[in-house]
Amino acid sequence: MNFPFTVYLPALAAAFIAAVLSLPLWRRFSQRTGLVDDPGHRKIHHTPIPLAGGFTVLTGIVLPLLLGVAALSRHSPAPNLGEQFIDHGLRPDNRALELAAILLGALGMVILGWLDDKFELRPSLKFGGQLAIALLVVAANVRITLFIHNVAFSYAVTILWILTVTNAFNFMDNMNGLCAGLGAIGAWYFAVIAAVDGQYLVALLGLLTCGALLGFLPYNFPHASAFLGDAGSHLVGYLLAVMAILPHFYTPQHPHAWAVLTPLLILAVPLGDLVWVVLLRWRSGQPFYVGDNNHLSHRLVRNGLSKSNAVLLIWLLATLLGGVALVLTLL
Mean predicted lDDT score pLDDT of the chain: 88
Q: What is the pLDDT of residue 90?
A: 45
- Asked if residues 136 and 101 have their Cβ atoms less than 8 Å apart, the reply is yes
At residue 48, does pLDDT exceed 70? yes
Q: What is the pLDDT of residue 42?
A: 55
Q: What is the pLDDT of residue 157?
A: 93
Please, which residues have CB within 8 angstroms of residue 27's CB and are 6 or more apart in sequence? 50, 52, 219, 225, 226
At residue 3, does pLDDT exceed 60? no
Q: Which residues of 44-66 are buried (b: 16+ CB within 10 A; e: fewer)?
A: eeeeebbbbbbbbbbbbbbbbbe
**DSSP structure string for 264-311:** HHHTHHHHHHHHHHHHHHHHTT--TTS--S-SHHHHHHHTT--HHHHH
- Asked if residues 53 and 59 have their Cβ atoms less than 8 Å apart, the reply is no
Of 28-32, 100-104, 205-209, 249-253, the one with minimum mean pLDDT is: 249-253
pTM beyond 0.75, yes or no: yes
Backbone angles phi, psi at 150, to 5 degrees: -110, 120
pLDDT, mean of residues 239-264: 78
Taking only the tens place, the pLDDT of each residue in 265-322 is 999 999 999 999 999 999 998 888 888 899 999 999 999 999 999 999 999 999 999 9
Q: Quick one: which H or E segment has residue 22?
A: helix 5-32
Taking only the tens place, the pLDDT of each residue in 151-190 is 899 999 999 999 999 999 999 999 999 999 999 999 999 9
**Comparison of pLDDT for 2 and 207, the residue scoring more:** 207
Q: What is the pLDDT of residue 80?
A: 47
Q: Which residues partner with 36 through β-bridges? A: 50
Q: How far apart are CA 24 and CA 235, in angstroms?
A: 19
Taking only the tens place, the pLDDT of each residue in 91-146 is 444 467 888 999 999 999 999 999 999 999 999 999 999 999 999 999 998 888 77
Query: Residue 113's closest CA among 245, 229, 281?
Result: 229
Please report which confidence band the pLDDT of residue 257 belongs to, taking 50, 70 and 90 as the band edges.
low
